[in-house]
Amino acid sequence: MGTPGLGLEITELRLGLPCMGGKSKAAEKKRAFWEIDGEEDGSSSTTTEEKTQKVESGGKGSGNQVVVGWPPVCSYRRKNSFNGREKGSKTYVKVSMDGAPILRKIDLGPFGEYSELTRALQKLFHSFDHSEKLKDAENNEYVTIYEDKDGDWMLVGDVPWEMFTESCKRLRIMKNADAKGIGLHV
Amino acid sequence: MAYSFPEEVLEYVLSFIKTDKDRNAVSLVCKSWYEIERWCRRRVFIGNCYAVNPRIMIRRFPEIRSVEIKGKPHFADFNLVPEGWGGYFHPWVVAMARAYPMLEEIRLKRMVVSDDCLEMIAKSFKNFRVLVMSSCEGFSTDGLACIAANCRNLRELDLRESEVEDLSGHWLSHFPDTCTSLESLNIACLGSEVCFSALERLVSRCPNLRKLQLNRTVPLEKLPNLLIRAPELVEFGTGAYSAELRPELLSNLVNAFAGCKKLKALSGFWDVVPAYIPAIYPVCCGLTSLNLSYANIQSPDIIKLVSQCQNLQRLWVLDYIEDSGLDVLATCCKKLEELRVFPSDPYDVEPNVSLTEQGLVSVSEGCPKLQSVLYFCRRMSNAALFTIAKNSPNLIRFRLCIIEARAPDYLTYEPLDAGFGAIVENCRELRRLSLSGFLTDRVFEYIGKHAKKLEMLSIAFAGQGDLGLHHVLSGCDSLRKLEIRDCPFGDKALLANAAKLETMRSLWMSSCPVSYGACKLLGQKLRRVNVEVIDERGTPESRPDSCHIEKLYIYRTLSGPRVDTPDFIWTMDEEGNTPQ
């Protein structure tokens, strides 16, 4: 999609505590234990979690990374404008989480971007008791994958959001340990 | 004063005094006026739900009939405010259910409203008439069913851009057959199909229905039947504006629209099939407001439409209108007061349409009454801004968004300081301003010097250092709301202008180099102001004081620190103690 080195790195799953290059090792992150996140863009602001969206320009991009909330189009408008998305047709997919006995279903339709999906998945599996497992952060992070139209299992976050919603048939939140086992670099 | 005139007389006089500002002035005259006024105040507006609390409101104003409350900061619209931040309506409705049984109207913006809240409204206020929820969330169609079923005299139900958990369209059928009071119904934000025959019957039996905004699932074919049952409509929002091409549908639509003689405002227009646009031609000359901002129609169709709307005062449209369409607008719509141009493809770096700064310049030239502008474009120049400032000295709201952050003047590559400077210098009545493009501290110098009536300022990716923020805080006398993201503004300007923060409704700063230590200092310095650090990395105490915080929200309050903060917000304490 984008030329490497121009900042259009594939949005990658980030696991473990979101440290800012070692600064906040002590920081206790009580919230997400998995994220779909992009590269820090190294801008002068010192924030963490400058979540980036893939620029959907099919190679024409000038290297600009799009940041959260910019351009300032309000979320209602983003969700309801027509940009190729069929509105009114529900896009429910099954979601399984390793260790959770019961599957859930989630509607991808209302979301406009990956971070919204992440939040929704967190809510969905919130009641699943993983609290003790979190102590050993290294071994119990998760990675989110999806099954596409061709039946292949893909890493969530690689392609632009719209492309993802069109091809995603089901989601699986897989243990990091298993991910490493099949060679997924996270 | 031995000879003050009777209370009843004063009360009668006060019933003519409507605005908050005037009412507040009245209450300051003397103690007895304060008392009389507070007993007869019927409306209250709370711009920040955490600035005050229900107990304080009820204690001062015991006889309120209409409440308007706003919750989350504006930047929540752009996903900058984390989920779970707050803005819960629940404590308010619980308190009001006890204290204001005669409550008639509730208007909320950016608040979290649960189905329980809606049920409480439905069951507690027997004269309840108006519910407006703008950009709210947390409720489902079950809550709406409760409102529909129980509010006997409901006049307005307006869900404006709220996020509703849409369980089914069946809720609409809960309006009893005896409900005939509806005047305004806006369900445009709902996703699922409502029972159309229930809607039709509801519309038929409400003779005062003036405003009706449908949702996308109501097909075009159903419109004629609906419109002929609502001849009093003043504002109408269509559903999806598409159908297969059938001549009898077109003529039915034409007749139906023509039958609405009072129609002044149109909106909706999702998924437009251009062949059906002529159906609204009969009403164009009467239109004062047209919202095409979801309509995927191209410039030629927009031009044909707009050129017939000579009385248009407000136009919301996508950038498909292009410069050519804006030229036509400037020629045909001389009464235009408000223009909003939204981007059809905001995330693409390359322009997909031919809309530039020139379109806005044309409108400023052709439309002498232009007051309010929201304009997304991909390039701007100082020259264009000078021209706009010169042509439109009566601007009240100017919100410009150049899509690429930090884009300079595309002709000279200079910052856009001078251009925006011209805007604030010439537009003396400017109350709201949003900046974009490449800007140095100089633009803030101009703003601080000239923008004396500015009440709300939005800044992103601008400035060089603390001096910029200092200019704004020290110069803008009327500033109430300031929201800043990704600017190099830090501790010095904030600490030097701490007192200013006590005169404003709120300050939002995110992704700015403000240190935790400075926040603690501000917390100590400021009385009756909450300094809230928002940080999703965990407690700022675990990092050095010099570390920058993620987000900061500072607002004045009578209510003390919040009691409902989520685990990622820390309120700085007045003693400088470590927040827990």
pLDDT tens, B80-109?
A: 999 999 999 999 999 999 999 999 999 999
Is the CB of B538 less than 8 angstroms away from the CB of A56?
A: no
Q: Is a pLDDT exceeding 90 seen at residue B349? A: no
pLDDT on residue B543? 94
Q: How far is CA B313 from CA B236, B300, B333, B335, in A?
A: 16, 21, 8, 5
- Per-residue pLDDT tens for B509-533? 999 999 999 999 999 999 999 999 9
Q: Is a pLDDT exceeding 80 seen at residue B140? A: yes
Q: Which helix (H) or strand (E) holds A142?
A: strand A142-147
Q: Is a pLDDT exceeding 80 seen at residue A19? A: no
Q: How many CB atoms lie within 10 A of CB A70?
A: 22
Q: Across residues B350-377, what is the average pLDDT?
A: 96
Q: How far is CA B369 from CA B259, B292, B336, in A?
A: 30, 21, 6
Q: Across residues B470-490, what is the average pLDDT?
A: 97
Q: Is a pLDDT exceeding 70 seen at residue B479? A: yes
| d(CA B568, nearest CA chain A) in Å | 9
Chain A residue whose CA is closest to B75: A69
Confidence of residue A58 (pLDDT cuts 50, 70, 90): very low
pLDDT on residue A125? 79
Chain B CB contacts of A88 under 8 Å are: 191-192, 216-217, 240
pLDDT on residue A66? 52
* CB neighbour list of residue B170: distance below 8 Å, 6 or more residues apart: B141, B145, B195
| d(CA B437, nearest CA chain A) in Å | 11
Is the CB of A27 less than 8 angstroms away from the CB of B538?
A: yes
Is the CB of A76 less than 8 angstroms away from the CB of B163?
A: yes
Q: How far is CA A25 from the centre of its chain?
A: 22
Cis previous bond, A71, omega within 30:
yes
Q: Is a pLDDT exceeding 60 seen at residue A135? A: no
Q: How far is CA B453 from CA B178, B395, B442, in A?
A: 49, 12, 19
Decide which of A145 and B70 is more confident: B70
Mean pLDDT comparison of A62-66, A176-180, B158-162, highest-scoring range: B158-162
Chain A CB contacts of B138 under 8 Å are: none
- Per-residue pLDDT tens for B281-310? 999 999 999 999 999 999 999 999 999 999
Confidence of residue A72 (pLDDT cuts 50, 70, 90): very high
Q: Which of B537, B542, B568 to mutate to test the interface with A (most CBs of A within 10 A)?
A: B537
pLDDT on residue A122? 80
Chain B CB contacts of A80 under 8 Å are: 189, 216, 270, 294
Question: Tokens standing for B570?
Answer: 């820390």
Confidence of residue B1 (pLDDT cuts 50, 70, 90): low
The closest of A177, A178, A176, A170 to A153, measured between CA atoms, is A170
Percent of chain B with pLDDT over 90: 92
Chain A residue whose CA is closest to B191: A88
Q: Is a pLDDT exceeding 70 seen at residue A44? A: no
Least confident of A73-87, B115-129, B394-408: A73-87
Q: Is a pLDDT exceeding 80 seen at residue B553? A: yes
Decide which of B110 and A92 is more confident: B110
Chain A residue whose CA is closest to B550: A47
pLDDT on residue A120? 83
Chain B residue whose CA is closest to A73: B78
Is the CB of B191 less than 8 angstroms away from the CB of A87?
A: yes
Which residues, listed in sequence order, are joined to residue B375 by a DSSP beta bridge? B341, B400
Contact B78, A68 (CB under 8 A): yes
- Per-residue pLDDT tens for B176-232? 999 999 999 999 999 888 889 999 999 999 999 999 999 999 999 999 999 999 999
Q: What is the secondary structure of B136-196 as a DSSP string?
A: -EEEEHHHHHHHHHH-TT--EEE-TT-EEE---GGGGGGS-TT-----EEE-TT--SPP-H
Chain B residue whose CA is closest to A50: B511
Is the CB of A81 less than 8 angstroms away from the CB of B80?
A: no
Chain B CB contacts of A29 under 8 Å are: 536-538
Q: Which of A76, A91, A116 to mutate to test the interface with B (most CBs of B within 10 A)?
A: A76
Q: What is the secondary structure of A59-126 as a DSSP string?
A: T---SPPEETT-S---HHHHHHS-TT--SSS--EEEEEETT-SS-EEEE-TT--SHHHHHHHHHHHTT
Q: Across residues B16-20, what is the average pLDDT?
A: 92
**Strands A142-147, A12-15: pairing kind:** unpaired
Decide which of A78 and B128 is more confident: B128
Q: Is a pLDDT exceeding 80 seen at residue B77? A: yes
Q: Across residues B227-243, what is the average pLDDT?
A: 95
Is the CB of B348 less than 8 angstroms away from the CB of A55?
A: yes
pLDDT on residue B575? 75
Chain A residue whose CA is closest to B192: A88
Instruction: Establish, for the pair of chains A and B, how many residue pairs have beta carbons separated by less than 8 Å.
Output: 131
Confidence of residue B79 (pLDDT cuts 50, 70, 90): very high
Q: Is a pLDDT exceeding 80 seen at residue A42? A: no
pTM: 0.80
pLDDT on residue A22? 33
Confidence of residue B135 (pLDDT cuts 50, 70, 90): very high
Confidence of residue B468 (pLDDT cuts 50, 70, 90): very high
pLDDT on residue A48? 35
Q: Is a pLDDT exceeding 80 seen at residue A12? A: no
| d(CA A182, nearest CA chain B) in Å | 30
Contact B283, B305 (CB under 8 A): no
pLDDT on residue B347? 83
Is the CB of A88 less than 8 angstroms away from the CB of B217?
A: yes
pLDDT, averaged across chain B? 95
Contact B230, B209 (CB under 8 A): yes
| d(CA B304, nearest CA chain A) in Å | 22
Question: Tokens standing for B405?
Answer: 């952050």
Q: Is a pLDDT exceeding 90 seen at residue A61? A: no
Decide which of B3 and B50 is more confident: B50
The closest of B364, B353, B264 to B317, measured between CA atoms, is B353
Q: Is a pLDDT exceeding 60 seen at residue A57? A: no
Chain A CB contacts of B240 under 8 Å are: 88
To 10 degrees, what angle do helices B20-27 and B31-40 make?
A: 140
Confidence of residue B481 (pLDDT cuts 50, 70, 90): very high
- Per-residue pLDDT tens for A136-164? 444 457 888 899 888 888 888 888 887 88
pLDDT on residue B259? 94
Ordered domains of chain B (ranges, CATH): 1-41 (1.20.1280.50), 496-579 (no CATH)
Q: Across residues B329-345, what is the average pLDDT?
A: 97
Percent of chain A with pLDDT over 90: 5
